[in-house]
């Protein structure tokens, strides 16, 4: 029959608490001894008891001192193993990682937005005049990147020979540069068409 799950809570009855402590202390020492033997690891246990004046130390005070000195040598702030992090370091590490991920996703979204806008411009439903100067510069970078991507694909197809059929590539298009002249904006004022 399975054991009933116990609720972990402070045992209010002093006698029951003392009995539980003694049983669990024995079990803990047994587990420490087992892990040391079975896994060949250096382990020590120090148990301060509110019921006994004597502190229980396993395997011995000398053995525990050796383990504690070894731990002290590697657990200093500057000598801490990289996998051992405190809560603040862990949180800062996660925050930095998430910030990098957020930046990447924002860039992807911006690129997707510009792609959609570019296709709407080609369909005639939007105009480059709807963008501010920074967005127009980004759009020009995106278009130039798309041109480079197409050129690269054409070059790869030509190298592969596309099933033995020679492909003649058209001359590469002229790269677009971000517009900076004020006469590109439609509106009233003293433009070039004024």
pLDDT in the model for residue 186: 45
Average pLDDT over residues 87-92: 79
**CA gap 29, 32 in Å, rounded:** 5
Mean pLDDT of 40-46: 92
Q: How confident is the model at residue 59 (pLDDT cuts 50, 70, 90)?
A: very high
| HEC assignment per residue over 18-79 | HHHHHHHHHHHHHHHHHHHHHHCCCCCEEECCCCCCCCEEECCHHHHHHHHHHHHHHCCCCC
CATH fold label, 14-76: SRF-like (3.40.1810)
- Residue with the larger pLDDT of the pair 157 and 182: 157
pLDDT of residue 77 exceeding 70: no
Asked if 114 and 121 touch (Cβ cutoff 8 Å), the reply is no
Question: Could you tell me the residue ranges of all domains in the chain?
Answer: 14-76, 87-158
> 98-143, pLDDT tens digit by residue?
999 999 999 889 888 888 888 888 888 888 888 888 888 888 888 8
């Amino acid at each position: 029959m399975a054991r009933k799950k116990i609720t972990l809570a402070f045992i209010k009855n002093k006698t029951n608490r003392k009995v539980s402590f003694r049983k669990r202390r024995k079990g803990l020492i047994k587990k420490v001894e087992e892990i040391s033997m079975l896994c060949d690891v250096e382990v020590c246990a120090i148990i301060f008891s509110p019921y006994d004046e004597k502190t229980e130390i396993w395997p011995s005070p000398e053995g525990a001192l050796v383990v504690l000195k070894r731990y002290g040598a590697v657990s200093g702030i500057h000598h801490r193993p990289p996998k051992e992090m405190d809560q603040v370091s862990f949180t800062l590490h996660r925050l930095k990682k998430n910030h990098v991920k957020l930046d990447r996703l924002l860039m992807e979204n911006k690129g997707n937005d510009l792609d959609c806008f570019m296709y709407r411009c080609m369909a005639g439903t939007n105009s480059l005049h709807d963008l501010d100067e920074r967005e127009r510069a980004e759009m020009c970078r995106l278009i130039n990147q798309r041109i480079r991507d197409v050129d690269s694909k054409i070059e790869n197809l030509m190298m592969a020979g596309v099933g033995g059929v020679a492909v003649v590539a058209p001359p590469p298009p002229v790269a677009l540069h971000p517009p900076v002249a004020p006469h590109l904006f439609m509106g009233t004022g003293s433009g070039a068409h004024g």
